[in-house]
Each structure stands twice: as structure tokens, then as C-alpha cells.
Amino acid sequence: MTDLEPTAQQLWDSRYAEKPLMWSGRVNAVVAELIEPLEPATALDLGCGEGGDVLWLAERGWHAAGVDVSAVAIERATRAADDRGVTVRASFERRDLQVDGVPTGLFALVLASYLHSPGELDRRSILRGAADAVAPGGRLLVVGHAAPPPWADEHAHHHHLPSLDDTRADLAFDDEWTIEVSEVRAREVVAPDGTPGELLDVVVLAKRH
Ligand SMILES: C[S@@+](CC[C@H](N)C(=O)[O-])C[C@H]1O[C@@H](n2cnc3c(N)ncnc32)[C@H](O)[C@@H]1O
């Protein structure tokens, strides 16, 4: 990175500042489907954005912590936790995973949902740090875009999105892990112009022995 390039925080803060809310505030559909059956315990969400997944977890009894490089996103997530009455179980920290690494500790669930960035992001070291943060008996869930939305601009189509194989190679699970889900799955969505469409997600869920 040269001195002229924005830092990850500058990049994401300015992106978040474009709108009063960037995301829906709701849990990601894949996260809800796969995590709903689990007993609430402790969770860590990497690149939590405005906190939709953390807040959903906290509302279900999880003690969930979210980290994100953007101070704007963290401020919104913290305010939303207050508004939704879950500050006891939801906490947020501004943290650059690229620079400061994954927080220390062991969690029953470590989640990285759509942890993508147009800036530099060493996913391999972040995902391996994520796996290290899973407690024995706990799970790691990684969800990402397999392809840009059909309605995304030209710029997004030039952006590299890690495939399922890339993600599995980054994670390099050994026999300490049982892979419960490893697939590209389609999800029905409505495009911003109201037309129905389909998005493809890379989904990896693994349980640590
Ligand atoms: C596509 S958004 C997904 C947000 C959220 N997980 C969700 O599903 O709504 C990617 C998030 O990753 C965060 N991010 C990007 N690079 C990061 C880094 N180096 N450290 C921590 N967070 C980062 C961004 O600020 C952004 O909130």
C-alpha cells in the first residue's frame, strides 16, 4: 500500500457514510438457517458491519461479539444493540483484522459472513485465525459471495471473490474438524429494481472436535 491509498478504515468509513444504513439490520439468511438449531453460547462475528448477525444471535440468547474495521459501522451496531435491548449480550469493537488479527479467546461459534473488501485482505490468515478461535466442540461458519449480484456495477464484476475451493484451501481443515456444509448454494432475492434474481453463496460450516 502506498501513502496515497486509503486505509481499510478510511475506505469502509467513507462507504458506510454514503447512507444512513448500508445493510438491512436483519440476520443473513444462511446464518439464520444454519445457526438456528444450535444451543446459544458464545459467538464472535468477524467483519460484523452494522451488526445484523450479532444482534440476531443476542436476541436468541447468545453472547455475541462483533468486530469491524469501520468506526461508522461499529457505532451503528452499538446503537442498534441499545435500541433492540440486547447490550447485555451483544458487544462491538472496531478492529482491523488485517493489522490486529482475530481477537484472542475461544468461542462456540466464529462467523465470517461476506467478509469481502475492495482493499487488501489476507483472508487466509484471517480465516485461519478464525478457526483457531473456535473452542473444542464449537463451529466455524464462513459465508461469502460466490459471484457479484447480477445488478452490481462493472467495478464489482472485476473484483476477485474467493471460490469454494479458495475458501477451503485458506481454511486447510485437518482431522480435528468435521465439515458439516461445504457448498455453493443459490438464494432467491429481489433486485433493487424489484425484479426477482438469484445470488450464489459459498458456505462452509465446520465443527471442531
Ligand atoms: C460486505 S460487508 C459484510 C458485513 C456483515 N458481515 C454483513 O453480512 O452484513 C464486509 C465488512 O467487512 C469489514 N471489513 C473489511 N475489511 C476489514 C478488516 N481488515 N478488518 C475488519 N473488518 C473488515 C467491512 O467494514 C464491512 O463491514
pLDDT above 70 (res 23)? yes
User: Residues of the chain with pLDDT > 70: what percent?
Assistant: 96
Q: SS3 for 200?
A: strand
Q: What is the largest CA-CA distance in the chain?
A: 47
Pocket test for ligand 1, best of 69, 93, 109, 202 (most atoms within 8 A of CB): 69
Give 9-42 as a 3 state SS string.
HHHHHHHHHCCCCCCCCCCCHHHHHHHCCCCCCE
**Are 28 and 53 contacting, i.e. CB atoms less than 8 angstroms apart?**
yes
Average pLDDT for 6-11: 94
8-197 adopts what CATH topology?
A: Rossmann fold (3.40.50)
Domain ranges of the chain: 8-197
- Other C-beta atoms lying within 10 Å of the C-beta of residue 88: 9
Closest-lying ligand 1 atom to the alpha carbon of residue 45: 6
Integer Rg of the chain from CA: 16
Cα 69 to ligand 1 centroid, rounded to whole Å: 7
48 vs 37: CA distance, rounded Å: 21
Q: Whose CA is nearest to atom 13 of ligand 1?
A: 47
Confidence of residue 63 (pLDDT cuts 50, 70, 90): very high
Q: Which residues, 6+ apart, have CB-to-CB distance to 196 below 8 Å?
A: 188, 189, 190
Q: What is the separation, in whole angstroms, between the first and last Cα of the chain? A: 39
Site residues for ligand 1, CB cut-off 6 Å: 8, 12, 23, 28, 47-49, 52, 68-70, 73, 96-98, 113-117, 121
Pocket test for ligand 1, best of 12, 26, 127, 143 (most atoms within 8 A of CB): 12
pLDDT (0 to 100) of residue 3? 63
Whose grid coordinates read 446464518? 31
Confidence of residue 120 (pLDDT cuts 50, 70, 90): confident
Confidence of residue 34 (pLDDT cuts 50, 70, 90): very high
pLDDT (0 to 100) of residue 51? 98
The one-letter code for the residue type at 52 is G
Output the pTM of the full model.
0.95
171 vs 202: CA distance, rounded Å: 13
Give 38-69 as a 3 state SS string.
CCCCEEEEECCCCCHHHHHHHHCCCEEEEEEC
φ, ψ for residue 169, nearest 5 deg: -65, -40
- Other C-beta atoms lying within 10 Å of the C-beta of residue 175: 6
182 vs 16: CA distance, rounded Å: 31
Q: Whose CA is nearest to atom 27 of ligand 1?
A: 49
